[in-house]
Structure formats: C-alpha cells, structure tokens
Chain A
Amino acid sequence: MMKMVSYCAPLEGGDSMVKAIGICFMAISCGMIGFYKSLEFSERLHNLIHLKRCFLLVRGEIRYQPAPFPELFKRVSTKMEKKYQQIFQELSSELQKKEEKEFSEIWSFVWEKEKYCLSFQRDDMEVIKTFGETFGYLDKEMQIQNLEYLIEQIEGQIQDAKQKKQSGQKLYQTLGVLGGFFLAILFT
C-alpha cells in the first residue's frame, strides 16, 4: 500500500497539470468558436459587396454590349472573384443545356447549390432568387431596370450585414471568451 502511495504521489501532480492544460485548451477553443462564428458576419459582408460588383458588371455589359446570357455570363465571369466566377460559369453552361426549364428554375438551382460557400442568409438568397423570376423578360431597358432594383436591394442587404457585423461580431467573440472562462471556472 505504501508502495502504491509513493508511486501515485508524483502522478497527482501530473494529473492536475493535464487538467490545467485541458481547461486552458477548452477555454481557448470556446474563444475560437466565438471568433469563428463572428467571422461569418465579415464573410457575408464581403460576399455581398462582391455580389453587388458582379451585378454592376452584368448591368454594364447589358448596357453596352448586349449578348445572350450564356455568352454574357461567361464574359463577365472572367472579371469576378473566384467564387462568383464559378457560379456565373455554371449558369452559362446550364443555360446552354436547353433542358426545357424556365430561366428562373436554372437561376435558383445554381445559386441554391452554391449558397453554402457564400455565408448568405435566407433573405439574401431570397433577393437573388426573386430577381431570377423577372430577369430576361422583355427588352434591354427592362433588364437594366431589374438590375438596378437588384443592386439597390443588395445595397440594403450590405447595410444590414454591416449592422449585424458590428453587433453580432462583438457578441459572438465575447460569448466565446466568456463561455471559455465560465467552463474553466466550472472545471477548476
């Protein structure tokens, strides 16, 4: 028995060390989760700003060099950020398949497929999808008006994202750090 106590004694010191490391690790992880969640706000804002830029490019092309959508999307995609480049190229190839689908169906299908890499909220997606229902309808003037309305709506979403970023980012970061501390205290 004595032998065992003397054998376990140094282990007790090591145990508390492991515990301390574990608690630190947990606290840091909680903090990081908070930071990671807060980054989604920046990501959404960044993507919305670039989305607006994409549609400004589309509007410019339609205004000065009207072309069928597959060609137009392919052409403007070269000037876009990689994520959007992929989306617009996919739109271009889907539109050329001629599978007896409506334009709005193809539009929604592609954006829905790619939404996970964009950190968009449901209402951001709603704005994009609603636009697809009227895009391509009637003449050039109508397309430009539609795009202007969309750009205006995206601008609204950008303002919303900015506000949410300000409040939400701090909230998640604080929650993460505080959660970490709380757990650390709880387990100490």
Chain B
Amino acid sequence: MKQKQSLYECFPKALKDALFPWFQSKYHLQEIRMRTNQPLLLRCDGEEFGIDGQGLRVREREHAKIITATEIQDTLSYISDYSLYAYEEEMKQGYLTTKNGCRIGICGRAIVEDGKIKNIHPISSLNIRFPYEMKGCGSLLLDYIWKENTVLSTLIVSPPMCGKTTLLRDLIRQISDGGDVISCNQKERSKRREGKTVGVVDERGEISACHLGVPQHDLGIRTDVLDGCPKVQGMMMLVRTMAPDVIAVDEIGSNEELDAMRYGMNCGCSILATAHASSLKELENKEVFQRAKKEQVFKRYVVLSNRHGAGTIEEIYDENGELLCSIGRRG
C-alpha cells in the first residue's frame, strides 16, 4: 500500500485524478500502461480496461483519458526524482526500477551506437508493473525441492505473467530464513528447516528490485544480492566471495550461463533458476536446455501456468524429465 501510494505521488495532476480510485487498497492493481496519444489502460485482477479523466471505466476509445507526450515525460521525471541519467544502465535494457520496488518498462526511440543501445529517447510508452510479494507461495514447492537438508537444483518454467519470479522470490526468502517443514508426513513436519545462505544474481533487478543496492523485497536474512550484474560473472563472483549454499538467477538461456551454473554446482552450490517456456517439451526445443537435461544440471523442473491464477504449479519433473507429480493448484 505504501509502495503504491508513493508511486501515486509521481503522476502529474491530470493522471492523479484519473488514477485516484484505482490506487485504493480494495483494488488489486497490477499494471498501468501509458502510450503517447493512446488511452490510459489499467490491469486489475487480471482484466485490462481503459479509464476516463475521472477514473471511470470506459469502453470507447473517445471517452478514455488520452495520454500526452508531456504526461509521459513528467511521470518519468517525477518517478526518477528528476534524475533519469541515474537509470541510464537500466534504461539501456528497457526498464527502470524505482525506489519503492516498482518496475517500469519503457519504449521509444532507441539510440544506437556501434550496434549497442546507448539510450532510449524520447520515451513514448511506459508499462508500470506493481510487484506483489506473495509470502508463502513457495511453501508447497519447497517440499518437493528440499531433500536431506539440501536444496535440489530447480528450474522454474513458465510463460510470461505466470508468476515465476514471484515464486522464485518466495523460495529464496523461505530457504534463506529457514523454518518449519510443511509436509504431509507428521514426523517430517516436526523437523525444522535450517536457513541457507542464498546468493542472488539479479541482472535485471526483477527479483530484488534493488534501489541504490538495497533490496526492496524481503529476500530473507541470509541472502546476498548482486544487483545489475551479468549472470555469468555474477555467479562466479558469488561462488568465490560469498560461499553461498544456493545461487538464484532469473531467466537463463545461454550456454555461458549453463557453464557458470555447472561451475557453481561443482563448488557445492544448488541452483534455483527460471526460464521462459509453457511446457517441458517446449523448453527442450532450446538447445541449451537439451544440454542441461543431458548433463542433469537440474534435479527438478517445475512448470507453472495461470490456470488458477498466476503461480499455478502444474507439474514437477525429475532430472530425467520424468513426471514426478501433477499438482494443478497454487502454492
């Protein structure tokens, strides 16, 4: 709520008027989309719609609040505390993370120099996404990836907007903090899960939403975050300097990243990672994951969907790709 309120303060007056009702706590505001000369669109509880200048839902484009270039510019200016220059590195990758942990995707004219994106200017579209911490959403899964006081290396697979980063974040927090084992077995349940040191390489700031190096999300008491660091170098650095029990990374997909993970595993670390795909079969179409399966890098594959809302755990597979169980519900 506090996070939403501080973001609300960053909008120009006309937008504040339109957005006011939607920033009330009863609405589960997930996303605000602003595009120059296009209607202001919101996503609430999984549904997308336009609103007018007073914040009322509208069906027709002509009744909707139309976003101007100045409103986008002013919003960005207030969000960045007049310091867009400080977000230059993030903006090169098409986003910026605010101090309240909000992630803002940006689009516009890319300024390219020597084949590399130098900046985006002017910015014509904003996608403001509200991160939600769902504490406890990883409890169910944790039972399947925790074995003999170690975490099994796990790859969370899902299409976009299915909650894989939220799930990863909660797993990190629970593994780091430790706690009671949640199990059907009464004997198991009485055991206490020991907290582990977790190293997070957060290249795009999605897991921790770091602002000035400080995570804005609760990642647990034994978690070290390498913010904005490329995954390959980050994993090597963590292994050499922070002695983590578990290394967590988001959205892997290259052979170099797989090599770095193998290096970490050979040093006694477990890996928690995520990847984009809607099924294990689709994942195996990518060469890098065929290799990962062949080399048995991951001991568990978890497939998510949004069938019963984001974060629905569909299936869990073992290192050979054999189905361990179908769950079909949220954690």
Residue numbers of A with Cβ under 8 A of B are 62, 66-72, 95-96, 98, 100, 103, 106, 136, 138-140, 142-143
CB-defined interface of B52-77 with A at 8 Å, one 1/0 digit per residue?
00000000000000000000001001
Bound together, the chains give a CA A142 to CA B83 distance in angstroms of 12
Bound together, the chains give a CA A71 to CA B211 distance in angstroms of 11
Interface of B is mostly: mixed
* Contact yes or no, A66 B82, CB < 8 A: no
From known contacts A67-B83, A95-B81, A98-B78, infer whether A140 and B88 are also in contact, taking CB-CB under 8 Å: yes
Contact partner of A95 (CB less than 8 A), chosen from B74, B82, B84, B88, is: B82
Bound together, the chains give a CA A146 to CA B309 distance in angstroms of 50
Nearest residue, chain B, Cβ from A142: B85
The number of residues on chain B lying at the interface, defined by a beta carbon within 8 Å of a beta carbon of chain A, is 20
Nearest residue, chain B, Cβ from A135: B82
CB-defined interface of B116-151 with A at 8 Å, one 1/0 digit per residue?
001101000000000000000000000000000000
Bound together, the chains give a CA A13 to CA B252 distance in angstroms of 103
Interface of A is mostly: helix
Between-chain CB contacts (< 8 Å), 7 pairs: A68-B83, A69-B82, A98-B10, A100-B13, A100-B78, A103-B77, A136-B82
* Contact yes or no, B82 A103, CB < 8 A: yes
Bound together, the chains give a CA A66 to CA B86 distance in angstroms of 5
Bound together, the chains give a CA A174 to CA B236 distance in angstroms of 72
* Contact yes or no, A139 B88, CB < 8 A: yes
CB-CB nearest 4 A-B residue pairs: A68-B83, A68-B81, A103-B82, A66-B86
Chain A residues with Cβ below 8 Å from B84 are: 136, 138
Q: Add 20 more A-B contacts to A67-B212, A72-B83, A138-B119 (CB < 8 A).
A: A66-B86, A67-B83, A68-B86, A68-B99, A69-B83, A69-B86, A71-B81, A72-B86, A95-B82, A100-B12, A100-B74, A103-B77, A103-B82, A106-B82, A136-B82, A136-B83, A136-B85, A138-B84, A138-B85, A139-B88
The answer to whether the Cβ of B9 comes within 8 Å of any Cβ in the partner chain is yes
Nearest residue, chain A, Cβ from B121: A138
The answer to whether the Cβ of B80 comes within 8 Å of any Cβ in the partner chain is yes
Chain A residues with Cβ below 8 Å from B10 are: 98
Chain B residues with Cβ below 8 Å from A136 are: 82-85
Bound together, the chains give a CA A94 to CA B88 distance in angstroms of 23
